[in-house]
Amino acid sequence: MTPQQLLFYCRPGFESDLAGEIVAKASALGWQGYPLAQPQAGHVAFVLTEERPANALHRALPLESLVFARQSLVALEPLEALSRDDRLSPIIEQVVASGWSFESLWQETPDTNDAKALSGLIKALQRPLESMLKKRGALRRKAGGRRLHLLWTDGDRVQLGMSFPGNRSEQPGGIRRLRFPHDAPSRSTLKLEEAWHEFVPRDQWETRLSEGMQAADLGAAPGGWTWQLVKRGMQVYAIDNGPMDRGLMATGLVEHLREDGFVWAPPMRLDWLVCDIVDKPARVIDMVERWLVKRWCREAVFNLKLPMKRRWEAVSEGLARLDRSLSEARVDAEIACRHLYHDREEVTVHVRLFN
Ligand SMILES: C[S@@+](CC[C@H](N)C(=O)[O-])C[C@H]1O[C@@H](n2cnc3c(N)ncnc32)[C@H](O)[C@@H]1O
């Protein structure tokens, strides 16, 4: 049995954006298929209509290159109408027929309230599943780091998928849960922290997010993002007409300027630009593009707010334009964009300059 589907998790409400993204990227790579995306389902399948195995497309579409996907799996046909008396046999039979083997088993649900009600069932099934899979040789100590995922969408419906090290989220459900720091001035602080986890490898934090660096935070008030920069020991230009948190100002590391973030220019080259201003994506991109072309910073993290219907189109056009302008200006840069767990109607973009 060759898997003919890819399965992606996403924030509920973003299924059509993820489906649009996958269809566009798969077809640009020469793959034929169609998406299965239900509104508010929190996941999207892409069904191949050709003979090549789905693993090849899975490799060609790395998770880190996708905007709206939280997790990416090679998947089998969903199992439906499972009997209450014996949910496990069809699952075990499908695994054995697929010839798959793994080192671990994760049972998950979409990020919806309905699905969370399945957590008791999932817990009860974990041990019996593991022991039956071990008996059949599908769960072993060494299996290339592969993981079996069971995505339960109802008590009688589950889809089996497999993930591979280096091309998956290591967080259950693809969700990076972070603890809110009690002295941070706003919950937005978690967006910048998650962005760093996503875009800066942990072993590079000491050199790329280090004490004494200089940063600008455009649209900084009340200071959630500035708080993260200050926590890393950076000096920050906080640009906003609104008031900044007093505790943050007392650190002596923040210079608060009541200026327009779209026109303010830094006095020297900075290490980081971050921007959380609520405005049209095209306007934010124009501003960041000016910073990058003039090489006013080495790295940037900024959000694109997406109140519109066709979010994937807005994001892909914006990113393509930024990429084109940087190439034309001979700026050697890496651009990445992800819909983070702490993002709502917005995505986070990271750009790193190399020259
Ligand atoms: C979503 S809030 C930022 C929250 C902040 N990142 C935090 O973590 O606390 C957006 C901010 O952008 C500011 N803003 C809007 N337009 C601006 C502009 N043209 N220049 C500077 N700040 C602006 C608003 O005053 C508001 O404080």
CA dihedral of residues 177, 61, 348, 292 (deg, nearest 10): 140
Could you say which DSSP state residue 163 is in? E
Region 279-288 average pLDDT = 97
> Which atom belonging to ligand 1 lies closest to the Cα atom of 227?
8
| Catalytic-residue membership of 123 | no
Tell how far the Cα of 352 is from the centroid of ligand 1, in angstroms.
23
Check the CA dihedral 176-180-184-186 and report its sign.
Answer: positive
Could you say which DSSP state residue 86 is in? B
Could you say which DSSP state residue 85 is in? T
pLDDT single digits (tens) 126-135: 999 999 999 9
pLDDT single digits (tens) 145-187: 999 999 999 999 999 999 999 999 999 999 999 999 999 999 9
Pairwise CA distance, residues 324 & 165, whole Å: 32
> Which atom belonging to ligand 1 lies closest to the Cα atom of 260?
20
User: pTM for the whole thing?
Assistant: 0.96
Q: Is 192 close to ligand 1, i.e. is its CB under 6 Å away?
A: no
Tell how far the Cα of 70 is from the centroid of ligand 1, in angstroms.
27
Domains, the chain, with CATH or none: 5-172 (3.30.2130.30), 189-353 (3.40.50.150)
Amino acid found at 169:
S
Using DSSP's 3-state secondary structure scheme, residue 272 falls into strand
pLDDT single digits (tens) 39-56: 999 999 999 998 899 999
> Which atom belonging to ligand 1 lies closest to the Cα atom of 264?
20
pLDDT single digits (tens) 189-235: 999 999 999 999 999 999 999 999 999 999 999 999 999 999 999 99
Q: Is 193 close to ligand 1, i.e. is its CB under 6 Å away?
A: no
Using DSSP's 3-state secondary structure scheme, residue 283 falls into helix
Pairwise CA distance, residues 44 & 35, whole Å: 7
Structure tokens of 62?
């790395």
